[in-house]
A = this chain, B = another copy of it.
Amino acid sequence: MGRKAQHRSALLRATQNLLRQKGYLAMGVADILRASGAPRGSLYHHFPEGKVALAAEAVRVEGETVRRHLLRLMQDHPTPEAFFAAYAARLGAWMAASDFRDGCPLATVMLETASEDPPLQQAGQAAFASWLSVFSALFTHGGLPPEAAQRRALQSLAIIEGALLLARVQQSTVPLATLIPACGRLSLDAA
């Protein structure tokens, strides 16, 4: 990897970490440069529109990382029941290991910016849509018709996001262990 490409990935990694730790509004360009070690010129070379473009690309990369993680988990645990049990255990281990600092890598930045910054909004929408597709495929493989699979996917994503927030608030894995495995078993009445 050439130095330019190295700077680009260092900028992205630093931005991903800062978005997760502090969110978008409290993240300054100076923070990104300090954490990445990249020169200011390289930020504007790779991301001429500056912080918002860099953050949108970081959101896209995070979304893709999570999507690939979900796909691997689905290969190992192909039924909804096995998948959500394994996912709850993994999220619980991550959150406990980070002293409940980790969580959804996109939730904070989306809550801060989804209504304000179209590039971030679009990147976030695409990321969440790609996760919903994985969950839909999981429920379809589990035998549900497409519409029911999509409804269950939306419900599961909401429960996961809500459980991650509650785990953070309660500083406990109990919400994850109580709520997420049930996504593989919940029956949702037809609306």
**A interface residues with partner B (beta carbon < 8 Å):** 22-23, 25-26, 99-101, 103, 107-108, 110-112, 114-116, 121, 124-125, 128, 151, 154-155, 157-163, 165-166, 168-171, 175, 178-179, 181-182, 185-189, 191
A107 x B111 contact (CB < 8 A): yes
A168 x B114 contact (CB < 8 A): yes
Report Cα–Cα, A68/B151, bound state, in Å: 31
The count of identical subunits is 2
B159 x A125 contact (CB < 8 A): no
A119 to chain B, nearest CB (A): 14
Report Cα–Cα, A170/B125, bound state, in Å: 6
Please give me the residue from chain B that is nearest to A128 by CB atom.
B169
Please give me the residue from chain B that is nearest to A188 by CB atom.
B182
Which interface residue of A103, A116, A165, A166 has the most chain B CB atoms within 10 A? A165
A111 x B165 contact (CB < 8 A): yes
A95 to chain B, nearest CB (A): 10
